[in-house]
Structure 1
Amino acid sequence: MKRLILALALSLLPGLAPAEEGREIPAYASHIAETGPQTAVFAGGCFWGVQGVFQHTKGVISATSGYAGGAAGTAQYERVSRGDTGHAEAVQVIYDPAQVSYGDLMRIFFSVAHDPTELNRQGPDVGPQYRSLIVPQTAQQEKAARSYIGELNRARVFPAAIVTQIEEDAPFYPAEAYHQNFLARHPMHPYIVQEDLPKIDALKRLFPAAFRADPVLLPLTN
């Protein structure tokens, strides 16, 4: 709902320029040995932009918008938007570790996809459903996530402490079809122009070797 209100406001301000996004941060100091397709789950505010960033990342096989945490019965957009279901808008990433590592994905997540210092909000979107969250799929991922957050906090890469939560057992539920590939399908949507296209620009600018111009899209039936 918040993003729809912003879209209306921005539509009345055609001259408003998108804000600069992203910052280059140190790479994860260690490495996870993974083979074959792997799964990662990240939540960082509205899933439209997070999905778009990972769809433009080389080595990503698919990126699906959805809801992490909570119960299956309330994993619907209108219900999650109330902020009382325990879900977070999230993106499930299937990736090829031979092309992009889990550490690489975390680096992109923290530096480009969202601001990990904002608690229970991202930009104009406010509520626990927009919290910063990593859902590790393996013990190795959990160790890496906790270690990397520690490294970044000790280095004081950001002006405030990282508030990203780690929830090992949070389930993931795919979002409705109309949310999938949203950035690619609606590049001129006011919210996308203001909040999310700068993230794609930052990915290209900060990590040119990881950027793919043509996003990997989910096949949709409607």
Structure 2
Amino acid sequence: MAMASFVERLEPIDADAAAAVKAGAFVDLAIARWLVPHDAAERERCLREQFTWQIRTVLVSGGQLYGIRETGRLVATALWTVHPGGEPADPPGYDAALRSITGPYYPRFRALDEIFAATTPIVAHHHLDLLAAADRGRGLGSCLLSSYLSWADRRRPVRPMAALQASSPRAAQLYLRHGFEADDPVEIPGSDGLHVFPMYRHPPAALPAAPAGPRLVEL
């Protein structure tokens, strides 16, 4: 029997738990292993603290955090920001926070951030900053993604373009299934061949207006 999962909008109080889900999902990815080699515990800490800072800052500036819980535990999360257009810029205090969090690994984190900035569209759009699930293969990430895109595709008066940077070819395949298109991969300088995969999605033809609240999604 399919399990019903409720996609809910999260609050700043959920930032730590959402960051932990994201860090746990990313800690063994190739890019993460390049960011902090050899020490998985230190890698997880750097990622978790950076994601916590990012989530809290995005929520203060009008972004939205969504999640799925099971038996009260957060098991999947997605963070979206609304870009009004123009060149992306660091939020106030980010560089100092990143230096403090990452220490000797700062240059690599900074290099990755610069790739993200260079591949972020300068036109107005909704940007998927973080998407992660504690358990792969269950459709939790797809559930979060389809829920948000279904709502965005029914926005009035403007239905936004969506954009993101996938961290691996496997992740890019997920987004392709949800209507994203891929730009050319961009190599991370000094990473010995690792790439970021910029992707974008234009809304489909006109759809009915968006419902007011979150919806129940069957997995």
Q: TM-score, normalised by structure 1?
A: 0.34
Q: Judging by fraction of residues, say which structure has more strand.
A: 2
Which structure has more relative contact order (CA 8 Å, sep 6+)? It is: 1
TM-score, scaled relative to structure 2: 0.34
